[in-house]
A and B are shown apart, each in its own frame.
Chain A
Amino acid sequence: DAGVTQSPTHLIKTRGQQVTLRCSPKSGHDTVSWYQQALGQGPQFIFQYYEEEERQRGNFPDRFSGHQFPNYSSELNVNALLLGDSALYLCASSLGASGGQETQYFGPGTRLLVL
């Protein structure tokens, strides 16, 4: 049973560019959440997708957008990259919409460096 997978593992971009990160949830999971973890900090919630809709959003600008596909996989898009967007981006999957009790399982992350 495959866990949460993310691609690519590492990425280097320059300021102003756009980036797309991908996530495949754990088998049987239908909810995907994205987090940003800057160096030396705890992960910060970006947004969550359920039934192909954004259900919750954290305090991130509109440059951060996402999508969930019918097979529950998800993409995170970041436009107009800033140096401060350099971070580890974590995807987490969970099952159902029970209001928070569901355990989130994390992928290994995508390390983004913006130059």
Chain B
Amino acid sequence: AQSVTQPDIHITVSEGASLELRCNYSYGATPYLFWYVQSPGQGLQLLLKYFSGDTLVQGIKGFEAEFKRSQSSFNLRKPSVHWSDAAEYFCAVVFSWGKLQFGAGTQVVVTP
């Protein structure tokens, strides 16, 4: 069955520290991969996406993600977190024709 898993429900990180959010998928081929961020009371904002080519993808707000086919993973990273990065992050996958399937999300808390 096709699935998207974000193993970490909640992550706490200190301001200035690095951040890595995990995303794994289950699918027989390489799907289209996305990371979105949602601030409280807001809609979803696209951070970055991967379709093919270079497996390291740069996004907005200093985020990057690496696609690893062998691990069926698409982890999101940021070298130095700012307080404004506190939000919920969703990994999403398109398995078929524009139907985005989201993970359960990871809540990121940034401490001073």
* A positions within 8 Å CB-CB of B: 4, 31, 33, 35, 41-45, 48, 55-56, 58, 90, 92, 94, 97, 99-109
Asked if B104 is an interface residue, CB under 8 A from chain A, the answer is yes
A43 touches B44 (CB 8 A): yes
Main secondary structure, interface of B, reads: strand
The smallest beta-carbon distance between A84 and chain B, in angstroms, is 18
**With A42-B105, A103-B49 in contact, is A108–B42 under 8 Å at CB?**
yes
Contact call B100/A45, Cβ cutoff below 8 A: yes
B11 at the interface (CB under 8 A from A): no
Note all chain A residues with C-beta closer than 8 A to B51.
101
Chain B 35-56, CB within 8 Å of chain A: the 1/0 string? 0100000111110010100000
Nearest Cβ on chain B to A13's Cβ, whole angstroms:
20
Q: Does B94 contact A (CB under 8 A)?
A: yes
Complex Cα distance A42/B104, Å? 5
* Residues of chain B lying within 8 A (CB to CB) of residue A33: 98-100
| Shortest CB distance A74–B (Å) | 14
